Amino acid sequence: MALTKEQIAQRIAQELQDGYYVNLGIGIPTLVANYIPEGIEVVLQSENGLLGIGPFPYEGEEDADLINAGKQTVTTIKGSAFFDSAMSFGMIRAGKVHLTVLGAMEVSDNGDIASWKIPGKMVKGMGGAMDLVASAKNIIVAMQHTNKAGESKLLKKCTLPITGLACVRKIVTELGFFNITEQGFELVELAPGVTVEEVKSKTEGRLVIAPNLKVMQL
Protein backbone atom coordinates (compact mmCIF):
# COMPACT_ATOMS: atom_id res chain seq x y z
CA MET A 1 0.00 0.00 0.00
CA ALA A 2 1.27 3.43 -0.92
CA LEU A 3 1.57 5.84 2.00
CA THR A 4 -1.15 8.34 2.86
CA LYS A 5 -0.19 11.99 3.27
CA GLU A 6 -0.29 11.48 7.04
CA GLN A 7 2.09 8.52 6.76
CA ILE A 8 4.51 10.53 4.63
CA ALA A 9 4.49 13.15 7.42
CA GLN A 10 4.88 10.42 10.03
CA ARG A 11 7.98 9.05 8.31
CA ILE A 12 9.55 12.50 8.00
CA ALA A 13 8.91 13.11 11.69
CA GLN A 14 11.27 10.20 12.44
CA GLU A 15 14.09 12.41 11.11
CA LEU A 16 13.55 14.96 13.91
CA GLN A 17 16.06 15.16 16.74
CA ASP A 18 15.94 16.75 20.16
CA GLY A 19 16.78 20.44 20.01
CA TYR A 20 16.01 20.86 16.31
CA TYR A 21 14.63 24.12 14.96
CA VAL A 22 12.45 23.15 11.99
CA ASN A 23 10.64 25.02 9.24
CA LEU A 24 7.63 23.18 7.82
CA GLY A 25 6.15 24.28 4.50
CA ILE A 26 2.50 24.31 3.52
CA GLY A 27 0.65 21.05 2.79
CA ILE A 28 2.02 17.63 3.79
CA PRO A 29 5.00 19.23 5.64
CA THR A 30 2.61 20.97 8.07
CA LEU A 31 1.32 17.54 9.11
CA VAL A 32 4.79 16.58 10.39
CA ALA A 33 4.00 18.64 13.51
CA ASN A 34 1.40 16.01 14.49
CA TYR A 35 3.99 13.22 14.71
CA ILE A 36 6.89 14.68 16.69
CA PRO A 37 8.35 11.68 18.57
CA GLU A 38 7.73 11.64 22.29
CA GLY A 39 10.56 12.62 24.57
CA ILE A 40 12.19 15.11 22.23
CA GLU A 41 11.79 18.87 22.07
CA VAL A 42 11.51 20.47 18.63
CA VAL A 43 10.82 24.16 17.96
CA LEU A 44 8.90 25.01 14.80
CA GLN A 45 9.88 28.17 12.94
CA SER A 46 7.28 30.13 11.00
CA GLU A 47 8.89 32.53 8.55
CA ASN A 48 6.32 35.27 9.24
CA GLY A 49 8.07 35.73 12.57
CA LEU A 50 7.48 33.04 15.17
CA LEU A 51 9.63 30.43 16.86
CA GLY A 52 7.55 27.90 18.74
CA ILE A 53 4.33 27.29 16.79
CA GLY A 54 1.71 25.67 19.00
CA PRO A 55 -1.44 23.77 18.03
CA PHE A 56 -4.49 25.40 16.46
CA PRO A 57 -6.45 27.52 18.99
CA TYR A 58 -9.64 26.27 20.57
CA GLU A 59 -12.79 27.47 18.83
CA GLY A 60 -13.52 31.01 19.91
CA GLU A 61 -9.90 31.68 20.89
CA GLU A 62 -8.59 32.52 17.42
CA ASP A 63 -6.31 35.57 17.38
CA ALA A 64 -6.04 37.45 14.07
CA ASP A 65 -2.59 38.70 15.07
CA LEU A 66 -1.24 35.18 15.57
CA ILE A 67 -0.90 33.15 12.38
CA ASN A 68 1.58 30.79 10.74
CA ALA A 69 3.14 31.21 7.30
CA GLY A 70 0.14 29.42 5.77
CA LYS A 71 -2.01 32.24 7.23
CA GLN A 72 -3.71 29.77 9.59
CA THR A 73 -4.59 30.82 13.13
CA VAL A 74 -2.20 29.13 15.58
CA THR A 75 -1.06 29.40 19.19
CA THR A 76 2.38 29.64 20.79
CA ILE A 77 4.20 27.11 22.97
CA LYS A 78 5.94 27.92 26.23
CA GLY A 79 9.22 29.58 25.26
CA SER A 80 8.04 31.11 21.99
CA ALA A 81 9.53 34.22 20.44
CA PHE A 82 8.29 36.74 17.87
CA PHE A 83 10.50 38.69 15.49
CA ASP A 84 10.32 40.59 12.21
CA SER A 85 10.59 39.19 8.70
CA ALA A 86 14.19 40.30 8.17
CA MET A 87 15.39 38.53 11.31
CA SER A 88 13.30 35.51 10.37
CA PHE A 89 15.17 35.09 7.12
CA GLY A 90 18.38 36.11 8.81
CA MET A 91 18.20 33.01 11.00
CA ILE A 92 17.31 30.94 7.93
CA ARG A 93 20.19 32.26 5.81
CA ALA A 94 22.63 31.96 8.71
CA GLY A 95 21.90 28.23 8.89
CA LYS A 96 20.31 28.26 12.34
CA VAL A 97 17.32 26.23 11.17
CA HIS A 98 18.32 22.56 11.28
CA LEU A 99 15.71 21.11 8.97
CA THR A 100 13.41 22.40 6.27
CA VAL A 101 10.54 20.28 4.99
CA LEU A 102 8.73 21.49 1.92
CA GLY A 103 6.58 20.36 -0.97
CA ALA A 104 7.64 20.39 -4.63
CA MET A 105 6.27 20.08 -8.14
CA GLU A 106 9.48 18.47 -9.42
CA VAL A 107 12.85 17.35 -8.05
CA SER A 108 15.80 16.38 -10.23
CA ASP A 109 18.22 13.55 -9.46
CA ASN A 110 20.93 16.05 -8.46
CA GLY A 111 18.63 17.77 -5.96
CA ASP A 112 17.29 20.73 -7.97
CA ILE A 113 13.77 21.69 -6.94
CA ALA A 114 10.92 23.38 -8.84
CA SER A 115 8.00 24.50 -6.74
CA TRP A 116 6.80 28.01 -7.45
CA LYS A 117 5.50 28.57 -10.95
CA ILE A 118 3.82 26.89 -13.90
CA PRO A 119 4.45 29.28 -16.83
CA GLY A 120 1.20 30.57 -18.34
CA LYS A 121 -0.94 28.73 -15.80
CA MET A 122 -0.09 29.50 -12.25
CA VAL A 123 1.94 32.35 -10.80
CA LYS A 124 1.63 32.54 -7.06
CA GLY A 125 5.19 33.47 -6.24
CA MET A 126 8.01 31.80 -4.40
CA GLY A 127 7.23 33.17 -0.95
CA GLY A 128 10.09 32.12 1.30
CA ALA A 129 10.94 28.92 -0.56
CA MET A 130 13.95 30.30 -2.48
CA ASP A 131 15.50 31.68 0.69
CA LEU A 132 14.89 28.42 2.56
CA VAL A 133 16.32 26.09 -0.08
CA ALA A 134 19.35 28.32 -0.69
CA SER A 135 20.44 28.14 2.93
CA ALA A 136 19.00 25.15 4.79
CA LYS A 137 21.52 22.51 5.83
CA ASN A 138 19.05 19.67 5.50
CA ILE A 139 16.10 19.78 3.13
CA ILE A 140 13.50 17.04 2.91
CA VAL A 141 10.88 17.19 0.18
CA ALA A 142 7.47 15.71 0.94
CA MET A 143 5.44 15.11 -2.19
CA GLN A 144 3.48 12.67 -4.33
CA HIS A 145 5.66 10.57 -6.62
CA THR A 146 3.70 11.50 -9.75
CA ASN A 147 1.61 14.49 -10.85
CA LYS A 148 -2.10 14.50 -11.63
CA ALA A 149 -1.37 13.32 -15.19
CA GLY A 150 0.53 10.33 -13.74
CA GLU A 151 3.94 11.66 -14.82
CA SER A 152 6.98 11.24 -12.61
CA LYS A 153 7.96 14.18 -10.41
CA LEU A 154 11.41 12.62 -9.78
CA LEU A 155 13.20 13.70 -12.95
CA LYS A 156 16.59 13.78 -14.68
CA LYS A 157 16.10 17.52 -15.03
CA CYS A 158 13.34 19.83 -13.83
CA THR A 159 11.09 21.16 -16.60
CA LEU A 160 9.45 23.92 -14.52
CA PRO A 161 11.18 27.10 -13.30
CA ILE A 162 13.73 26.28 -10.62
CA THR A 163 13.39 27.29 -6.96
CA GLY A 164 16.91 26.22 -6.02
CA LEU A 165 19.86 24.21 -7.38
CA ALA A 166 21.30 20.99 -5.92
CA CYS A 167 19.79 21.57 -2.50
CA VAL A 168 17.37 18.71 -1.74
CA ARG A 169 18.90 15.95 0.43
CA LYS A 170 16.00 13.56 0.93
CA ILE A 171 12.56 12.89 -0.56
CA VAL A 172 9.64 11.03 0.95
CA THR A 173 6.80 10.09 -1.42
CA GLU A 174 3.92 7.65 -1.06
CA LEU A 175 6.25 4.99 -2.54
CA GLY A 176 9.35 5.34 -0.41
CA PHE A 177 12.24 7.23 1.12
CA PHE A 178 15.03 8.47 -1.16
CA ASN A 179 18.43 10.07 -0.59
CA ILE A 180 19.88 12.32 -3.26
CA THR A 181 23.33 10.94 -4.08
CA GLU A 182 25.88 11.39 -6.85
CA GLN A 183 24.29 8.37 -8.52
CA GLY A 184 20.84 9.99 -8.43
CA PHE A 185 17.82 9.03 -6.34
CA GLU A 186 18.80 6.28 -3.92
CA LEU A 187 15.82 4.24 -2.76
CA VAL A 188 16.56 3.38 0.86
CA GLU A 189 13.10 2.45 2.16
CA LEU A 190 10.05 1.08 0.38
CA ALA A 191 6.56 1.90 1.59
CA PRO A 192 4.93 -1.30 2.90
CA GLY A 193 3.52 -3.31 -0.01
CA VAL A 194 5.20 -1.24 -2.73
CA THR A 195 7.59 -3.00 -5.12
CA VAL A 196 10.93 -1.83 -6.52
CA GLU A 197 9.41 -2.32 -10.00
CA GLU A 198 6.64 0.17 -9.23
CA VAL A 199 9.19 2.74 -8.02
CA LYS A 200 11.31 2.15 -11.14
CA SER A 201 8.34 2.58 -13.46
CA LYS A 202 7.32 5.86 -11.80
CA THR A 203 10.81 7.42 -11.52
CA GLU A 204 12.11 9.19 -14.62
CA GLY A 205 15.44 10.30 -13.12
CA ARG A 206 18.44 8.08 -12.33
CA LEU A 207 17.49 5.58 -9.65
CA VAL A 208 19.72 3.31 -7.60
CA ILE A 209 18.57 0.79 -5.02
CA ALA A 210 20.34 0.91 -1.68
CA PRO A 211 22.15 -2.38 -0.92
CA ASN A 212 20.45 -2.47 2.48
CA LEU A 213 16.97 -1.56 1.15
CA LYS A 214 14.38 -1.83 3.93
CA VAL A 215 10.64 -1.72 4.29
CA MET A 216 9.60 1.50 5.98
CA GLN A 217 8.66 1.21 9.66
CA LEU A 218 5.88 3.55 10.79
Partner 1 sequence: MKKVYKNAQEAIADIESGTTLMLGGFGLCGLPENCIAALVQKGVNNLTCISNNAGVDDFGIGLMLQKRQVKKMIASYVGENAEFERQLLSGELEVELVPQGTLATRCMAAGYGIPAFFTPAGVGTEVAEGKEVREFDGKKYLMEHAFKADFAIVKAWKGDTHGNLIYKETARNFNPVMAMAGTITIAEVEELVPAGELNPDIIHTPGIYVHRIFQGTNYEKRIEQRTTRKRD
Does the footprint of partner 1 cover residue 148 (CB under 8 A)? no
Among 14, 73, 146, 152, binds partner 1 (CB under 8 A): 73
Residues tagged active-site: 47
Q: Give the distance between the most distant pair of CA atoms in the chain.
A: 53
131-158 burial: b if 16+ Cβ within 10 Å, else e: bbbebbeebbbbbbbbeeeeeebbbeeb
Among 165, 196, 209, 210, binds partner 1 (CB under 8 A): 165
The Cα 122–Cα 105 span in angstroms is 12
The Cα 96–Cα 104 span in angstroms is 23
Does the footprint of partner 1 cover residue 130 (CB under 8 A)? yes
CB closer to partner 1, 22 vs 175: 22
| AA identity, residue 54 | G
**Minimum distance from CB of 179 to partner 1 (Å)?**
22
CB closer to partner 1, 58 vs 217: 58
Residues whose CB falls within 8 Å of the CB of residue 101, separated by 6 or more in sequence, listed in order: 12, 22, 23, 24, 25, 29, 32, 139, 140, 141, 142
CB closer to partner 1, 57 vs 209: 57
Does the footprint of partner 1 cover residue 61 (CB under 8 A)? yes
Among 161, 206, 209, 218, binds partner 1 (CB under 8 A): 161
Does the footprint of partner 1 cover residue 107 (CB under 8 A)? no
Does the footprint of partner 1 cover residue 138 (CB under 8 A)? no
**Minimum distance from CB of 74 to partner 1 (Å)?**
7
**Minimum distance from CB of 51 to partner 1 (Å)?**
11
Residues whose CB falls within 8 Å of the CB of residue 144, separated by 6 or more in sequence, listed in order: 153, 173, 174
Does the footprint of partner 1 cover residue 7 (CB under 8 A)? no
CB 114 within 8 A of CB 106: yes
Q: Footprint of partner 1 on this chain (CB under 8 A)?
A: 46-50, 55-74, 82-86, 88-90, 92-93, 117, 123-131, 134-135, 161-165
